[in-house]
Amino acid sequence: MSAPFPIRPRLLLGPGPSPVHDRILQALARPTVGHLDPQFLAVMDDVNAKLRHVFGTSNSLTFPVSGTGSASQEAALANILEPGDTAIIGVNGVFGGRLAEMARRMGAKVVDVEEEWGRILDPERLIQAHREYPAARLLAVVHAETSTGVRQPLEDIGSYLAGTDTLFLVDTVTSLGGIPVEVDPNHIDVCYSGTQKCLGVPPGLAPITFSPRALERIRSRKRPCQSWYLDASLLSDYVGEGSERKYHHTAPINMMYALHEGLVMVEEEGLEARFARHAEVGKRLQDELQERGFTLFAEEGHRLPQLTSAALPGGADEAPLRKVLLDRYDIEVGGGLGPAKGKIWRIGLMGAGATNESVDRLLAAVDALSD
């Protein structure tokens, strides 16, 4: 047998993927069985139940889409929108921009509510946009905008939309498992995520949940969902407990084991303790960086603990230093995107990476670099 190709381990402190615990890697290596094997179906049912807990929902249609976060993003929009529908979309970073682009490609009339990168979308502005377009099919925001480090407040938008016929769609790819998402209390109708951020599982599955209101909308569509692969009404015949378990596509069996193990670890730690851990190390990193002359990019009071965006001291060019961090210290952090390109680092403290040891290792490297 030839030697396996070499991969140096890195400390993953970028915007994802986050470090993967050995327990999860071991789960990936368990025997592959068939996608209709009762053993596998039991794992899948348990994953769906555990996802309801993390999402904070009792929605029956809750499952991982086969694909990365972008697949669940497309699934969320494609199942709800039909050509000609109006979609109000908050855009204050890359991922809001993608939502708008996807919705446009689906033939929706998109009302972009834009805000400067690094700032939240004022809920009042979104509510105002809805008053102008009350027939909008959906209103979408990104809870944790990974391109800027901003945490979008959801409560007011959710309570307002609950009294209308417009569905509330929220991207929680970077928030699920790191900060509270609370799908039901926030009146979210369609909520999607990914595995490789705060859940600490490799990329490859993308949890999604649909409220009863969203299901009603899916049932009353005039045309079928434009994506066959992501059609929730077809998928529900396979993923739903008590459903026919009809073949749709081959589920990524071993990734499901990995996600299961990741969710067991979330339960063992407890959601509150997990949120507290992310909050604590994120705050510490942000304080320590500011002491070292970094300038935080996200608006004060709305900073994500799991994703810190910061401009380097003295306006230094970020890319060469980021390369040294990787080459010399085996630490990965992300660079800026869009208007923040070349200016900021995006540092993720997510899942198994959200520890004081991660912060210590990064700060030691930063201090060595500036000597």
Ligand X SMILES: *Cc1c(COP(=O)(O)O)cnc(C)c1O
Residue 309 is a binding residue for ligand X (CB under 6 A): no
Please name which of 23, 22, 17, 69 lies closest in space to residue 261, comparing C-alpha atoms.
Answer: 23
CB of 69: closest distance to ligand X in angstroms? Answer: 2
Identify the residue among 48, 146, 148, 286 touching ligand X (CB under 6 A): 146
For ligand X, the closer CB: 69 or 207: 69
Q: CA end-to-end span of the chain, whole Å?
A: 46
List the one residue from 18, 61, 66, 95 that touches ligand X (CB under 6 A). 95
Residue nearest to ligand X (CB): 69
**Which of residues 56, 90, 194, 348 is near ligand X by CB under 6 A?**
194
Q: How far is the CB of 70 from ligand X (least distance, A)?
A: 3
Contact between 335 and ligand X (CB under 6 A)? no
Contact (Cβ atoms closer than 8 angstroms) between residue 236 and residue 243: yes
- Helix (H) or strand (E) segment spanning residue 125: helix 123-132
Cβ neighbours of residue 216 closer than 8 Å, sequence gap 6 or more:
none
Does the footprint of ligand X cover residue 74 (CB under 6 A)? no
Which of 141, 215 has the CB closer to ligand X? 141
Q: Report the C-alpha gap between 215 and 233 in whole angstroms.
A: 9
Q: How far is CA 173 from its chain centroid?
A: 0
From the list 29, 61, 356, 355, the residue with the least C-alpha distance to 231 is: 61
Instruction: Determine, following the binding rule CB under 6 A, whether residue 171 of this chain makes contact with ligand X.
Output: yes
Minimum distance, C-beta of residue 315 to ligand X, in the bound complex (Å): 26
The residue among 174 and 236 lying less far from ligand X, judged by its C-beta, is 174
| Residues 262-283: b if buried by 16+ CB within 10 A, e if exposed | bbbbbeeeeeeebbebbbbbbe
18 binds ligand X (CB under 6 A): no
- Applying CB under 6 A, which residues contact ligand X? 16, 68-70, 73, 95, 142, 144, 146, 171, 173-174, 194, 203
